[in-house]
Amino acid sequence: MSTLAWRAWRRWTSAAGMRPFWRRVPLRASGALLLAMSAACGVGPNPASPPGAARSSPATLTLQPYFRELKTVRIRAGQTSLTMLFDTGGGATLVTPDVARRLGCRPFGRDVGRRMSGEQVEFRQCEAFDLSAGDWRRPAAAVGVLDVNALLPPELPKLDGVLALDAFNGDVITLDWAAGLVTVHARDTADAVLRQHGLPVRIATGDNGRFFSAFVPVAATRGQLWFLLDSGNIAGTLVAQHVVREGLLTIGSGGDISLSVGPRPAFATRTATADLVIDGALGTAFLMRGPVTLDLRARPSAP
């Protein structure tokens, strides 16, 4: 998750007095909450797939509205039902300390990640346990522990954690943000769906290989840029200052741009420049344009 504007948001809402919360949120504030593990954390081939990740039958997760275009998903951990933010830029699946206690976990260790701004975030982890939603099951794997609600304005409903793309390592998934659906495809249909909606992807895994965030290619005036695909970002398309400074994208005076993502036709959008340690980030505005299929199976890195 990419809380680039979070501090400004908190200052702005504090100064806004008693106005209704939905009137207090600036148009370009990021509603994302956590980490957005960046290219500075290491980008490379997809890690080895977890056992049993290749599915013989499809599964669908239903997303629920949370705030603006942010969405949550209902997940079961054993007999415990959780409401988790679905965050493709989150880097790692997380639960809150309260949830960890309810699940009988005593957090241990230390993981370090970075936001898109380069700001360091530390959290602990729990031993592996299963997560499920309907027909979808994630093989037992460790989860992080972080108080995500401490990063939220108090007006927003409390979350139990964050479901990130590491939960789908080894799968082919389609994000249909407008319909509120995540489809985990079966082996025999995955390649056909990729030909229809797929984007090239490479994965940021962090300093210790712990994290799992997807970057997609963006055409530039020189070389190729890689933008984080971040469903926790409601601030629009973010472009790093170094990209603007070097003229790697042609951006109009009002931030207007014609953007080409992977093999898809160019589309008109508006950008905001930010101090990022990555090239840029695509958020929910991009995902609302249509389904996006990601191949998260182990394979060589994209060029």
The CATH number assigned to the domain holding 239 equals: 2.40.70.10
In sequence order, the 6+-apart residues with CB closer than 8 A to the CB of 73 are 61, 62, 63, 64, 83, 84, 86, 133, 163, 182
Q: How far apart are CA 168 and CA 33, in angstroms?
A: 20
pLDDT of residue 41: 43
Quote the mean pLDDT of the chain: 82
Q: Would you say residue 303 lies in a domain? A: no
Residue 63: which domain range? 1-298
87: pLDDT strictly greater than 90: yes
Report in angstroms the alpha-carbon separations of 221 from 23, 107, 151, 201, 248: 39, 47, 37, 20, 5
Would 85 be classed as within a structural domain? yes
Q: What is the pLDDT of residue 183?
A: 97
Judge whether 232 lies within some domain.
Answer: yes
Domain tally, the chain: 1
- In this structure, is residue 234 part of a structural domain? yes
Grouping H, G, I as helix, E, B as strand and the rest as coil, residue 7 is helix
Q: In which band, very low, low, confident or very high, does the pLDDT at 209 lie, cut at 50, 70 and 90?
A: confident
Specify if 147 maps to a domain: yes
Does residue 135 lie within any of the structural domains? Answer: yes
pLDDT band of residue 72 (cuts 50, 70, 90) is very high
Assigned domain for 202 exists = yes
Each residue of 143-202: pLDDT tens digit? 999 999 998 888 999 999 999 999 999 999 999 999 999 999 998 999 999 999 999 999
Q: Which amino acid is at 179?
A: A
- Residue 4 belongs to a domain: yes
pLDDT of residue 241: 95
Each residue's pLDDT tens digit, 227-281? 999 999 998 999 999 999 999 999 998 899 999 999 999 999 999 999 999 999 9
* Cβ-contact 237, 285 below 8 angstroms: yes
| pLDDT at residue 21, as a whole number | 31
Dihedral sign, Cα of residue 154, residue 156, residue 157, residue 159:
negative
SS3 245: helix
Within 13 Å, how many C-alpha atoms sit on residue 200's CB side? 17
